[in-house]
A and B are shown apart, each in its own frame.
Chain A
């Protein structure tokens, strides 16, 4: 069998809560090393799409395939496997509050991957050093700043060797002066060729990183294309209009 072209394929995902339809047949494909950025107004379905991709929220219909192989979303074992292969970074970090930075990273290695403690610690140390937190491993989430928490969360996801990383507004809950440290970690990941889908409002991330920009509104991908095609002075796209409004809100822009 030849290697499938796409690392991840999502086909016509639908999701609604009661009468409220959040996703209306969203499809996307992701090549290895590709970075897609999701933008669009709040409530447009970005978070739900990301949560459906690793089935934290079960989609009502649609399929998810990795390397051309469809994942059976009804099979719990397949689901747990899928989630190990698709890392997720949350807006609110979601670190385990009762564990130190180190244990936040090791717990999945030990309990899910069944690594022994020594090997897990070594791996976790490596990942925490990569995000610049080698000296904070004994601290609890309550003792870390928002930026540090998000970097621990990134280390935690990377320790599982994910093939794809989903980032749900990774900088939106941070104080402005802490955004930079997280962005530089994400940029370093991109430089290493990490495959990512990221929902963000951070214009610097959109223009600098994305190969593809998806503009989502009302549960549909309204526009997609390279940043060049969609963004830039004089472009009459809705994406550009949305980004203009973001810049206006930011004042001098970020």
Chain B
């Protein structure tokens, strides 16, 4: 079956776009999780000034729209002599924003670990860092994974904002074709299908990670 030129153009454009999107999402998700764990742990266990600094970071990035953050990174930073490529600006913005949200999930999970787990480790001669790293974080991770996964799914969708700083990803490519052919409905429905597929893949991977991390006594899958 021969596709019409419109669909040929559309699919080519979207396939290019989705690669860029994946290139944005993977480092942003990984970076966001790492920042989230570090910021969450510091906001929970750090010395007071560090905690305050972490709280300020989370308040700033959760409290302002992502679009504004991206604008500042891309159009604002050059005033300070820092030039970021569209891609770099987008990934930086996504990581920082995602990290701020992730830190909140991580912090909640860390706080939910019972005092006895600290005592158990401390009584064996663990340092505070060892206690947090080997006992508290592995348990908190299992409690945080649902929230963190949810945030990654959000990230997949807000990655569409990258095109505002001229990083041509899925939505950007779709938008170009839509304007060219003036066929918005088909294009954006198709773009929606692509996002749905991306999110489905992510959910599958997250499910796998959940199963891999599963330990009896931690929530779901219990008979």
Contact = CB atoms under 8 A, between A and B. Distances in A.
A80 B127 contact: yes
A107 B138 CA distance: 13
Contacts of B135: 96, 98, 107
Interface stretch (B32-40, B66-74, B211-219): B211-219
Given A96-B135, A97-B117, A98-B139, A56 B122 contact: yes
Contacts, number: 76
A94 B136 CA distance: 12
B178 interface: no
10 contacts: A56-B119, A83-B124, A83-B125, A87-B123, A90-B120, A107-B135, A108-B121, A108-B125, A140-B216, A157-B124
Given A80-B126, A88-B119, 6 more contacts: A87-B123, A97-B217, A108-B125, A108-B126, A112-B125, A157-B123
Nearest to B115: A94
A132 B127 CA distance: 30
Interface of chain B, helix or strand or loop or mixed?
helix
B119, B124, B138, B216, most chain A CB atoms within 10 A: B124
B18 to A, nearest CB: 37
Contacts of A170: none
Interface residues of A, number: 30
B217 A142 contact: yes
Contacts of A96: 117, 120-121, 135, 139
A98 B215 contact: yes
Query: 8 closest A-B pairs (Cβ-Cβ)?
Result: A142-B217, A94-B120, A84-B125, A88-B123, A108-B124, A94-B116, A83-B125, A140-B216
Interface in A60-91: 76, 80-81, 83-84, 87-88, 90
Contacts of A45: none
A63 B120 CA distance: 23
A206 interface: no
A192 interface: no
A79 to B, nearest CB: 9
Interface residues of B, number: 21
A163 interface: no
Interface string B115-152: 01101111111110010001100110010000000000
A95 B120 contact: yes
A88 B123 CA distance: 6
Contact of B116 (A90, A107, A108): A90
Contacts of A98: 135, 138-139, 142, 215, 218
A87 B215 CA distance: 27
A93 B123 CA distance: 12
A244 interface: no
A54 interface: yes
B221 to A, nearest CB: 12
A80 B215 CA distance: 29
B123, B126, B142, most chain A CB atoms within 10 A: B123
Nearest to B138: A98
B123 A56 contact: yes
